[in-house]
Amino acid sequence: MLPQEAIRAKRDGQPLPVATIRELVQGITDGSLSDAQVGALAMAIYLQGMDTAETVALTEATRDSGEVLDWAGLDLPGPVLDKHSTGGVGDLVSLVLGPWVAACGGHVPMISGRGLGHTGGTLDKLEAIPGYSVTPDTATFRRLVKDVGVAIIGQTGSLAPADKRLYGVRDVTATVESLPLIVASILGKKLACGLDALVMDVKVGSGAFMPTPEASRELAESIAEVASQAGTPTTALLTDMSQPLAPCAGNAVEVREALAVLTGERRGGRLLEVTRSLAAEMLLAGGLAADRDAALSMLDERLASGAAAERFARMVAGLGGPADLLERPGHYLPEAPVSRQVRAPRNGYLGAFDTRALGMAVVELGGGRRAPTDAIDPAVGLTEIAALGTRLAAGEPLARIHARSESDAERAERQLLAALELGETPPAEPTLIQDTIRREAP
């Protein structure tokens, strides 16, 4: 079918055959489709949608548009597993989860992204570690996945190149918010990693990528269904993002928090609970534990023994970072010159966060990007963020700002105070793990 005929068919609401979808994705990859045609196709999909069969075909074609990693030649002793999050504020799960699952026998080739908008990026956090390379050569990446069990790096040009071009066009044609295009974009990259199983963390709440709880659930169900039909068993957890997941947001400060969790300095909390739940699902999906209780027991033992922290340290050293980061984080992780305590303006319960606005305050400090080319200041951010439901007296600490200048700190303080509500009664505690959706491959 000619590209313009396929675009016309989708524009008019007709389902596209699998072969046609593969031809279109090939045209996106090799440039035989013009930008005008790619934009028109994206708009037709945005307006008319795709059924499950079409979305599976689009996902598989995106996955197959470049290299699909093959681990068979490495004779790995355990399953190849990964996790993906729709992003949030204070969401440093990947830094803890990857080495934790590796310590339990999994192999985690985690291809991560950078922050854009209010959400932090895993690669930006890791690049706060001096020397850490997110673009290693293929041999180093494969060696670490085999020997250490985990390597967290950036997307290479050979993985799902169709997605890179299609996303760039979507970004300038107001077609980003299309469910089938979102699903194919996420899964095209992840499934190109040659996974035995995938676990998704889909956020719900004021800091979530999707605008409503209903939209978050629809995304979770679609990802689980499409990925499983594409041959990768997938579990999706719906988790709360009505407040920062960790009590901090920023790059170096989140690395410090990850180290605190891995070394046992930080015990309990929302971050640990979500990470532990996601990790348990990965162990179950990979056949590394017989049931949930066995998975949780294994995870707790590997964390307490220091095995998870040791995997993180080996990954950092293997990717060019300092070998003694765990022992001397203060020597390596940058600190901002200005530190300011934000205090409650009056008595009350911390009743609500505009979590997206909180994330944008970090961006304004220099800890995130407005455009992909913006530079990141790894030292700035927020720490000691009070949890929802905290009873505060006037003058008690709400959070601490780490800034490059006093004027930056003052602006961030105004933004932070505007992003929260103090009430007379305690709010209902949000459910952290709201649902679990499991799909097996056919």
**Residues forming the active site:** 82-85, 122, 170, 185, 189-190
- CA–CA separation, 389 vs 233, rounded Å? 37
- CA–CA separation, 388 vs 247, rounded Å? 11
Residue 168, token pair as written in the block = 């760039």
Question: Measuring CA to CA, how many Å separate 264 from each of 238, 261, 267, 309, 393?
Answer: 26, 5, 6, 9, 31
Question: What DSSP string describes 266-295?
Answer: S-SSHHHHHHHHHHHHHHHHTTS-SSHHHH
CA 257, distance to chain mean position in Å, is: 16
262 phi, psi to nearest 5 deg = -65, -35
- CA–CA separation, 359 vs 375, rounded Å? 17
Question: Measuring CA to CA, how many Å separate 120 from each of 85, 91, 209, 358, 361?
Answer: 11, 7, 12, 11, 12
Residue 262, token pair as written in the block = 């891995």
Residue corresponding to tokens 């030292």: 379
Residue 32, token pair as written in the block = 């035989």
DSSP state of 428: P
Label residues 179-210 b or e (16+ Cβ within 10 Å = b).
Answer: bbbbbbbbbbbbbbbbbbbbbbbbbbbbbbbb
Strand partners, 348: 392
